[in-house]
């Protein structure tokens, strides 16, 4: 069902200061899901980093957005791993390549990471090959060390990718996830860890086994009727909608007034973390683009301000420095008292 687009009064956030979350690290500046990308985001001052988790053949959780590895690593150039290339159907889509679930951690650790979008972000390619694929354990250890170094806690949003597919492969994600969180002392409600997925099944399982906050991710076309939000409220603490579900675009590709989604979620006590705000023109609404180059940088700060005005509780972004700037501008503009 389409979210209503009636003009609404600005909806206040449920939190005092909406969070800026670095999507796969500062992925506008470094290859995604590298320790350098996460550290860069933390240096910029983000509240949280976001990482996606998939499983290796031996059940170790690693930070990758996709099960297929050729777009973000050098696996295609590895003759010794050529025999592992195959076709798999993931979430109904047939893909040809190399999949994390077919490599052991030892094999995966021989790969080098690279920029996913080299034409859009050519500067990031300078860091190709500098790192390997990180495990969840390595990321959590890095976040703990950076939090101590900088004297402030840094949160982690963990997205469980292709959960049903992993279940069918005999590699359920929740078992190693909960084990690793317990090993790091992060299995309590005041830990700075949030669990997310597009798949409700694994979130419902986790809701019965952990007190960590849970976010149901949503994409355009998902049901966001009051009845659907009531069902989400049964197991989740928040929702993570696509930007277009909060600020729909009109026929000219410009954003109009906000939908009712933020207000409807807040009425149920559900937080709203919106994804994904990116700085390049190709990702921005028409009126916020600068010039005609699709990969030129537009006015992301204005896009973030619009989301904050709509009352969201978190901004998930590839360019956290611009989101932090927009948050400061909004805070400074607010009247005292």
**Confidence (pLDDT) at 4:** 40
Distance CA 332, CA 301 (A): 14
For residue 16, name the pLDDT band (cuts at 50, 70, 90): confident
Give pLDDT tens digits for 298-323. 999 999 999 999 999 999 999 999 99
Give the model confidence (pLDDT) of 58-96 as tens digits.
Answer: 999 999 999 999 999 999 999 999 999 999 999 899 999
Is 295 in a helix, a strand, or coil?
coil
Q: pLDDT (tens digit, 9 = 90+) per residue, 215-229?
A: 999 999 999 999 999
User: Helix, strand or coil for residue 100?
Assistant: helix
Report d(CA 105, CA 114) in Å as an integer: 18
What band does 3 get if pLDDT is binned at 50, 70 and 90?
Answer: very low
DSSP structure string for 146-182: HHHHHTS--EEEEEE-SHHHHHHTT--SHHHHHHHHH
| Sign of the torsion angle spanned by Cα atoms 228, 232, 233, 238 | negative
Q: pLDDT grade, residue 336 (50/70/90)?
A: low
Q: Are 166 and 94 in contact (CB under 8 A)?
A: no
Is residue 1 a contact partner of residue 223, using CB atoms and an 8 Å limit? Answer: yes
CATH architecture of 19-66+133-333: Alpha-Beta Barrel (3.20)
- Provide the token pair at 192: 């700075």
């Amino acid at each position: 069902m389409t979210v209503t687009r009636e003009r609404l009064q600005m909806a206040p956030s449920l939190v005092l200061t909406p969070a800026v979350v670095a999507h796969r690290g500062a992925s506008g500046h470094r290859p995604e899901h590298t320790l350098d990308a996460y550290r860069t985001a933390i240096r910029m001052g983000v509240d949280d980093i976001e990482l996606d988790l998939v499983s290796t053949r031996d059940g170790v959780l690693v930070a990758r957005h996709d099960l297929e590895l050729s777009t973000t690593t050098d696996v295609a150039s590895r003759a010794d791993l050529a025999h592992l290339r195959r076709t798999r159907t993931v979430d109904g889509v047939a893909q040809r390549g190399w999949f994390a679930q077919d490599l052991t951690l030892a094999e995966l650790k021989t790969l080098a990471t690279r920029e996913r979008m080299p034409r859009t972000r050519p500067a990031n390619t300078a860091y190709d090959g500098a790192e390997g694929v990180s495990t969840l354990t390595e990321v959590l250890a890095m976040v703990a060390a950076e939090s101590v170094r900088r004297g402030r806690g840094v949160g982690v949003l963990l997205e469980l990718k292709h959960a049903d597919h992993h279940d069918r492969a005999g590699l359920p994600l929740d078992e190693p996830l909960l084990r690793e969180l317990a090993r790091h002392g992060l299995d309590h409600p005041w830990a700075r860890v949030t669990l997310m997925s597009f798949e409700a099944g694994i979130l419902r399982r986790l809701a019965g086994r952990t007190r960590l906050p849970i976010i149901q991710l949503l994409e355009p076309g998902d049901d966001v009727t009051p009845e659907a939000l009531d069902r989400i409220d049964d197991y989740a603490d928040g929702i993570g909608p696509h930007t277009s579900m909060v600020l729909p675009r009109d026929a000219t590709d410009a954003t109009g007034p906000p939908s009712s989604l933020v207000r409807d979620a807040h009425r149920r006590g559900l937080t709203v973390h919106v994804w994904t705000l990116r700085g390049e023109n190709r990702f921005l609404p028409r009126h916020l683009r600068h010039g005609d180059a699709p990969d030129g940088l537009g006015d992301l700060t204005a896009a973030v301000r619009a989301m904050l005005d709509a009352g969201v509780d978190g901004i998930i972004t590839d360019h956290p420095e611009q989101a932090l700037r927009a948050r400061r501008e909004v805070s400074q503009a607010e009247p005292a008292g």
